[in-house]
Amino acid sequence: MTFGKATAWAILGLAFLFYATPILWLLLAAFRDEPMLFSSGPFSIGSFEMFGQTWTNLTTYNDFQIGRWALNSAVYTIGGVTLSLVAVLPAGFVLATYNFAFRKAILVLTLIAMITPNTVVALPIFLQMQAFGLNNSYIGMIIATAFFPFGVYLAYIYYATSLPAGLIDSARIDGASRFEVFTKVALPLSKPLIALVAFFSFLANWSNYFLAFVLLTKDELYSLPIGLAVLVSSSGALGNDVASDIPINKPEAIVAAILVILPVLVLFLASQKYVRSGTLSGAEKG
């Protein structure tokens, strides 16, 4: 191993330790009870019994309300991902492959929308949803989260760089309409793009806190991040004050955090092949 290679490995190793340590701590901490969290070392291992008690405390709270929130989150996320895919893929395709009036203006607007922080659009979205009577509803939350300009831009880049113009010409000569060129030629070749858009859309929607916080006020409609935040703050689990009578303390907060990050981890591991190929496609001539 050369000195350069060794240095590279050393830097990578340090970076890995830096980012992996909190996750490792979180996973181990889920097996410890409150006293043990304070008394033993940071990476000590508790027991399955301790985890079981924590899990019971969390899931029995308010008749397994946390399950309801997880289900809500799944509905919002799957709905948002599906709707954003339906909107984003054709939009990116048309922007990349056809010339029409205001195309450049639409691209610039997409870019501006992409870099506009979520917090800035939350109020207009809230007012819009209120006007349509969609606040505090599944459909309103799904429509709001499906707004995904970054996905439009991803699709635009993918189709502009990875879809050979000859294929579109060829399909047109074969008699395909524009819509059929999209459905029969472009879409079957879009697996990496779909994986990439779905992944980022999932990530944005699953952990979306602010928009859900603005749009949802009924606790039966809460998503997991909102519900857990409300629960943890109302129980004082993360404070050092006298604990409330709700059996939600630090171990429960830790398991709740794992519940939020676990689907993201699993989805990333399952889709990483596509996500990586999607981010690289078009970088080289095939």
Partner 1 sequence: MAHVKLTDVCKSFGALEVIPGVDLEITQGEFVVFVGPSGSGKSTMLRILAGLEDVTSGAVEIGGQDVTYAAPSERGIAMVFQSYALYPHKSVFENIAFNLRFNKVAKVEVETRVREAARILKLTDLLDRKPSQLSGGQRQRVAIDRAIVRNPDVFLFDEPLSNLDAALRVEMRFEIERLHREIGATMVYVTHDQVEAMTLADRIVAFDDGHIQQIGTPLELYRNPSNLFVAGFIGWPQMNFFPGRVSGVGVIAELGTPVGVNVGDRDLGGSKALTLGIRPEALQLNAPESGDRLSVAGEILSLEQLGHVSYAHVGYGDAPPLVVQLGADAPHGRGDKVRVSLDPRDLHLFDEDGAAIR
Q: Minimum distance from CB of 151 to partner 1 (Å)?
A: 22
Q: Minimum distance from CB of 192 to partner 1 (Å)?
A: 13
Minimum CB distance to partner 1 smaller for 68 or for 172: 172
Q: Minimum distance from CB of 116 to partner 1 (Å)?
A: 32
Minimum CB distance to partner 1 smaller for 146 or for 155: 155
Q: Dihedrals φ, ψ of 280, to 5°?
A: -100, -15
What is the crossing angle of helices 250-280 and 224-235, to 10°? Answer: 150
Whether 137 and 75 have beta carbons less than 8 Å apart is answered as no
Whether 75 and 138 have beta carbons less than 8 Å apart is answered as yes
10 Å Cβ neighbour count for 101? 7
Which residues form the interface with partner 1 (CB under 8 A)?
164, 166-167, 169-176, 180, 185, 188-189
188 by Cβ neighbours in 10 Å (0-12 / 13-18 / 19+) ranks as exposed
Q: Minimum distance from CB of 193 to partner 1 (Å)?
A: 14
Q: Minimum distance from CB of 277 to partner 1 (Å)?
A: 14
Minimum CB distance to partner 1 smaller for 35 or for 188: 188
Minimum CB distance to partner 1 smaller for 33 or for 180: 180
**DSSP H stretches of helix in the chain:** 3-29, 34-39, 48-60, 65-97, 103-115, 118-131, 138-146, 149-162, 165-173, 178-180, 191-206, 210-215, 224-235, 250-280
Minimum CB distance to partner 1 smaller for 241 or for 284: 284
What is the crossing angle of helices 65-97 and 149-162, to 10°? Answer: 40
**C-alpha angle 120/123/124, rounded to 5°?**
95
Minimum CB distance to partner 1 smaller for 42 or for 164: 164
Minimum CB distance to partner 1 smaller for 68 or for 178: 178
Q: Minimum distance from CB of 98 to partner 1 (Å)?
A: 13
Q: Minimum distance from CB of 144 to partner 1 (Å)?
A: 34
Among 231, 229, 208, 222, smallest CA distance to 59 is for: 231
